Amino acid sequence: MKNLDRPRFGPDGKGNSFGTWARQRFMRRSIMEAQPRASNSAYPELLTQGCFTMVQLTRSSRQPLGNNYKFGDNNIAARRLSTVADVFDASSRAFLLRSASQPVRLAVDLGCGPGHSTRLIAEVVQAQRVVGLDRSEAFLARAGTQGAPPISYQQHDVTTTPFPVEEQPDLLYARLLLSHLRDAVSVVGRWTRVLGLGGRLLLDEVNSVDTEDPVAMDYQRVVQAMLVQNGQRLDVGRLLSQMPDPAGTVIRKDHLVEVRPTSRQVGRMFALNLRVWSSDPYVIAEFGEKWLARLQDRLDQAASGEADIPVTWTMRQMVLGI
């Protein structure tokens, strides 16, 4: 893990539009990754244990995951997110330690999933209350089996403000979330407007994912095609680097950190994702079932330790404050 404090001026540094840049990117070595999910797999079920945590599922907020979200919220999704936590928690922990102002009365974890990042916030920040927000009832049910007060969870679409909390948050945190949202800059602007005086928004998002491995590059072709089709972008950190300060806030810190998972971790994340996407009608039409099956086999080999897939994530860690 290495800090890379350097400016970024655009998707390719040459002023090309994202559409042009994305098409060129498919043919080159850099790749990007995001968050994940699926159905039945060769990987064992994760066991959950621990204290009960309050989960509030209000009727007005219950809703299925949006059609533009391709990563699911079933058992394979939860397994994938467990690996994501293993990979990214160290860099996220350091980010929280150096960026969260003290003391924190209320911290809100945006897009908390099954609660890995929520529990990390509670441990590191020591807030009086920590609330995890997510649209997925299935993920929140999992989150509620682990942890203990001061953590609680609410089912809520995080693109909608205000949030279902009783006071203005001192801290908002989002990790690997904005790549799944359209119009990310507008969403960030809405989030900053709910902060209390002196509050901070911490964004922990993908800036780039780099590899020279042909299997990883093939996998990324699938990721990029789906995101572009949905009006999203994986390298949303680059977009944030060009964002003007939202009204009433200041970008206080902005730096890059490299994260290098093991080949087993990369293979596991990619293989579980592809198990979800390989049944998607768009993905089948775009890539073909035989090609997807071959890619799945190669990713499974990496997940089991039979092949190397060297991949480096560069995360943009940005702090916006009132």
**69/79: higher pLDDT:** 79
Is 50 exceeded by the pLDDT of residue 33? no
pLDDT averaged over every residue in the chain: 83
Q: What is the DSSP letter of 11?
A: S
- Paired strand residues for 253: 319
| Beta-strand runs (E) in the chain | 2-3, 30-31, 54-56, 106-110, 129-134, 151-155, 171-175, 200-210, 250-259, 312-321
pTM of the model: 0.81
Is 70 exceeded by the pLDDT of residue 314? yes
What number of other Cβ atoms are within 10 A of residue 212's Cβ?
A: 12
pLDDT, mean of residues 84-88: 98
CA atoms within 13 A on the CB side of 193: 12
Q: Are 273 and 80 in contact (CB under 8 A)?
A: yes
Task: Give the model's pLDDT for residue 198.
Answer: 93
Within the chain, how many helices (H) and strands (E) appear?
A: 10, 10
pLDDT tier at 21, thresholds 50, 70, 90? very low
What number of other Cβ atoms are within 10 A of residue 187's Cβ?
A: 18
Pick the closest to residue 112 from 84, 91, 90, 70 (CA basis). 84
- Paired strand residues for 258: 2, 314
Q: Are 11 and 224 in contact (CB under 8 A)?
A: no
Task: Give the model's pLDDT for residue 236.
Answer: 97
Q: Most confidently modeled of 37-46, 62-71, 139-148?
A: 139-148
CA gap 75, 73 in Å, rounded: 7
- Paired strand residues for 255: 317
- The string of pLDDT tens digits covering residues 110-155 is 999 999 999 999 999 999 999 999 999 999 999 988 768 899 999 9
Task: Give the model's pLDDT for residue 15.
Answer: 40
- Paired strand residues for 259: 313
CA gap 31, 98 in Å, rounded: 28
Full DSSP string of 121-166 = HHHHH--SEEEEEES-HHHHHHHTTS--TTEEEEE--TTSSS-S-S
Task: Give the model's pLDDT for residue 147.
Answer: 67
pLDDT, mean of residues 291-317: 98
What type of residue is 295? L
Q: What is the DSSP letter of 43?
A: S
Question: Could you give the percent of the chain with pLDDT greater than 90?
Answer: 73
pLDDT, mean of residues 239-245: 94
pLDDT tier at 276, thresholds 50, 70, 90? confident
Is 50 exceeded by the pLDDT of residue 31? no
Strands 200-210 and 30-31: antiparallel
What number of other Cβ atoms are within 10 A of residue 184's Cβ?
A: 23
Task: Give the model's pLDDT for residue 16.
Answer: 42
Q: Are 202 and 99 in contact (CB under 8 A)?
A: yes
Indicate the SS3 state at residue 294. helix
